[in-house]
Structure 1
Amino acid sequence: MTPLPRHQSIFFLVLRRMRMPLILLIVIMAISVLGLTLAPGVDADGKVQHLSIFHAFYFISYTATTIGFGEIPYAFSDQQRLWVMISIYLSVIGWAYTLGSLFSLLSDRNLQQAFAIQRFSRSVRRLREPFYLVCGYGETGRLVCDALDRLRHRAVVIELDESRVGEIELQGYVADVPAIAADVRNPETLKFAGLTHPQCVGVIALTNDDESNLAVAISARLLAPKIPVLCRAQRAETAATMTAFGTRHVINPFQEFAETLALALHAPAAWQLTHWLTGLPGTTVERYRNPPRGHWILCGHGRFGQQMVSAMDAEAVPVTIIDRDLPDDLEHRWVHGEGTSPDALHQAGVLAAVGIIAATRSDIDNLSIAVAARELNDSLFVILRQNHYANRALFEAYDADTTVVPSEIIGHECLAILSTPLLVPFLNMLRRTDPAWCTGLFEHLTDRLGWDVPEVWSVRINLATAPALYRRLMRGETVTLAMLLRSPQDRAERLECEVLYLDRDADDHRMAPDADTALRAGDEILLAGKPGSRNGFALTIANEHTLNYVLAGTDLPGGWIWERMAGSRKAAPRPNLP
């Protein structure tokens, strides 16, 4: 569907569809008026007289529209009454045809969509705050929009399915979410949705079609090259093309989980820490059983299964593949059959295995595989692929060690990228850090902050976000992290937050910097803390009075008069004491 380029387009569309009915009405009115002026009548004196064009038009106007009936200026003759009867039936036919065409036009899908586009584009143009353009409102798009709403970020949605667009109004978002049912592959649709709007701060392509997501990436690169784009990709070829077009973040959920699984096998604490930091706000994370090293079984060798095999190979973990198709991977042990079959599981060595991955495209088959494998070996570490978010209740009832939900993986990654860009480089460095150090950091953070998903944010020390701290640093004062992380209500207490990462220069990146690290103007720090600590920290670095209390323990006078009085007291000489 191609959006209408101008408001007048709807007007011209209506005129085109109503052209014949309107012409018919005009012709009927003209013939009726002409005939009434030609029909002879009589006046009060019995003389022959003819109606003027004005009187004939006036009479036909209120008679043909069924407003009323009255013979003017004199009683009609039989010839006039005969013509009036013909005119009435003609007008009835004309109005019936016109109204039928009008009702048909109002129910026309193209006109309804034209009205919807006009309302949608008008609501987008009126946005005066930053917003994200979300393309696709499936399971992943819904999770992302929910997260954006909790973070108080506006969103504009394009979704091809009209039923999903209707669901947006039922979600109860804090702010209105403009949405339109349209094809994201059309660049005009993206422009109407605000791609070139000055308040658009990012584009998120989350459809389940790689070609559509690629089209969004290309359109954004050409029409709005400065706006960051985050795209979902299922194939490596599509991801490479997106990257070539300058897409900043390309998310492949299967590849993301493969890297996570490799990290869990290599450094379990780093895996736990990543899950804790990227969880959905307001949820509680439990300590998971770490995936063991040893012999694993993989059921289903599709795109997801191939990524799992690559992750196992990267950590030198042996794996046996069970699949109904003929072997296409001769480097690994292969069992031809169904993962739900006990015979196939026995051939794969389920009794001696330490873990199993149910990676087929069917949720029912994956659950059946897990149940059958656990009956044979109840100590197996089970990884389940959940294809549809609607089956969440079934997977929660089974209680697998790890459930892979592509929509949640993408949602968590999007949330990490959008809410705290500095979190991404921290997690990338975390994957390359010594496992023992990750274990110590994870234990320290959870001891201080608990197992609830913390609030993670980043702050750059500049005049816009930290004016009070920035001015002190520019004056040459020394302020360390330990001095700054104190409660603005009681400086004897520490804020319930921790500094995870410090980004100073192009080559100066510090993981969990020491408390005595001196800050510099322009530093960017990543923090994680309990709810409320973010507001306290923001108040400290922005307000001069609060910062002075946190650093020195004294309150500065507030207001011009009190500052004058405080200055005069300081200038006054002390009396000589005996």
Structure 2
Amino acid sequence: MLKLQNLRDYVPALHANARTPRHLLEAGLGHRQCAGVVALTNDNEVNLKIAITSKLLNPHVTVICRADSHDIEDNMASFGTDYIIDPFDTFAKYLSTALQTPGLYLLQRWLTEKPGTLLPDPVYPPTHGHWIVGGYGRFGKAVFNRLKKEEISITVMEAMPEKTGEPKQGVVRGRGTEEDTLTEADIEHAVGIVAGTDNDANNLSIVMTARAMTNKLFVIARQNYRENDALFRAVDADMVMHPSAIVAGKIWVLLATPMLYEFMSLAAYQEEDWACALVSRIAGLVDNRVPV
């Protein structure tokens, strides 16, 4: 697969199971120039095994892991994994920042987008009114909990609550792709909707059906597969959550500009006026592209 990617630089590759310690050592885990290990498989248990192996066989190496289970995250943290990235919790935190301090959220996007990207516009998620969350899986739960902390009214739509569980207030049973389900979820009075299932076609359908019923919605859409980029650009959601892109973006910042990660951690304690002033200063220094 790497040979077909036509990458700009040579990338050494090892076709092996990263769960096996011997293969990690063959890849260079014990080498004095090994600076870090990044575990990005879609299996939490495999990422956990990679993290344990790395910390046991090379305690000084930096370990960055993807995880989307709180139990696995706690386990990874217990033996010193340096950075644990949960794409669902990360996006929920971004949404919380956009709700509370939109200037800080804009600053964060400007400083962490890939070089050459057009400056993103500010987003202002409504902080009052009724929201609908479609899908109560890992992503839906993360967003639901963040919105609840803002004391926002929420209705959850879920096709299989017996599998995902449901909040105390209950759910509206259905995918949300049908007008009946959206009507029952009170779409008429909604100010925001989250299309957050693990099915891209359903998420696009939720957005399009909801917009056909009301034109005053702030839309958050979950995109699961990169090949659907064109479709999600066309649907023009206010915020798009792509798990792999969130993980890749955060890791890129950690590896390429670690001081930026520290800066954003400190910026979270600043006031909104501070963030807005800094955004204005940056806007005066750049054209329509993000700063390098």
Per the normalisation by structure 1, the TM-score is 0.49
Distance in 2 (CA, whole Å) between partners of 1:175 and 1:198 is: 22
Gaps in structure 1 of 5+ consecutive residues: 1-166, 456-578
Q: Secondary structure at the match of 2:176?
A: coil
Match of 2:205 among 358, 364, 368: 368
Match of 2:154 among 306, 319, 324: 319
Q: Secondary structure at the match of 1:169?
A: helix
8 Å CA contact retained: 2:103, 2:122: no
How do 1:13-162 residues align onto structure 2 when only pairs under 5 Å count?
none
Quote how far apart the aligned CAs of 1:331 are.
3.5
Distance in 1 (CA, whole Å) between partners of 2:170 and 2:207 is: 20
- Does 1:400 pair with 2:234? no
Residues 320 and 260 from structure 1, CA distance in 2 versus in 1: closer, same or farther, beyond 3 angstroms? Answer: same
8 Å CA contact retained: 1:321, 1:348: yes
Quote how far apart the aligned CAs of 1:268 are.
0.5
Residue of structure 2 equivalent to 1:309: 144
Residue of structure 2 equivalent to 1:439: 276
- Does 1:296 pair with 2:143? no
Which amino acid in 2 is paired with 1:220? S
- Does 1:170 pair with 2:21? no
Distance in 1 (CA, whole Å) between partners of 2:167 and 2:49 is: 37
Aligned length: 289
Match of 2:86 among 252, 264, 267: 252
Q: Greater relative contact order (Cα 8 A, min sep 6): structure 1 or 2?
A: 2
Residue of structure 1 equivalent to 2:189: 352
Match of 2:261 among 424, 440, 456: 424
Quote how far apart the aligned CAs of 1:173 are.
2.5
- Does 1:279 pair with 2:90? no
Distance in 1 (CA, whole Å) between partners of 2:8 and 2:157 is: 48
Which amino acid in 1 is paired with 2:201? I
Residues 241 and 330 from structure 1, CA distance in 2 versus in 1: closer, same or farther, beyond 3 angstroms? Answer: closer
Q: Secondary structure at the match of 1:256?
A: helix
Distance in 1 (CA, whole Å) between partners of 2:236 and 2:272 is: 27
Quote how far apart the aligned CAs of 1:375 are.
0.5
Distance in 2 (CA, whole Å) between partners of 1:409 and 1:231 is: 13
Distance in 2 (CA, whole Å) between partners of 1:296 and 1:349 is: 9
Residue of structure 2 equivalent to 1:341: 178
Gaps in structure 2 of 5+ consecutive residues: none
Which amino acid in 2 is paired with 1:318? S
Match of 1:212 among 46, 49, 59: 46
Distance in 2 (CA, whole Å) between partners of 1:449 and 1:304 is: 35
- Does 1:232 pair with 2:69? no
Residue of structure 1 equivalent to 2:227: 390
How do 1:194-205 residues align onto structure 2 when only pairs under 5 Å count?
194-205=28-39
Residue of structure 1 equivalent to 2:13: 179
Residues 397 and 222 from structure 1, CA distance in 2 versus in 1: closer, same or farther, beyond 3 angstroms? Answer: same
Per the normalisation by structure 2, the TM-score is 0.95
Distance in 2 (CA, whole Å) between partners of 1:341 and 1:172 is: 43
Distance in 1 (CA, whole Å) between partners of 2:16 and 2:82 is: 25
Distance in 1 (CA, whole Å) between partners of 2:253 and 2:55 is: 22
Distance in 1 (CA, whole Å) between partners of 2:287 and 2:103 is: 15
Residue of structure 2 equivalent to 1:47: none
Residue of structure 2 equivalent to 1:243: 77
Quote how far apart the aligned CAs of 1:217 are.
0.3
Which amino acid in 2 is paired with 1:186? T
8 Å CA contact retained: 2:68, 2:86: yes
CA-based RMSD:
1.5
Quote how far apart the aligned CAs of 1:355 are.
0.7
Greater shift after overlay, 194-203 or 279-288? Answer: 279-288
Quote how far apart the aligned CAs of 1:330 are.
4.5
Quote how far apart the aligned CAs of 1:451 are.
3.8
Which amino acid in 2 is paired with 1:185? R
Residue of structure 2 equivalent to 1:223: 57
Identity %: 39
Residue of structure 2 equivalent to 1:22: none
8 Å CA contact retained: 1:319, 1:332: no
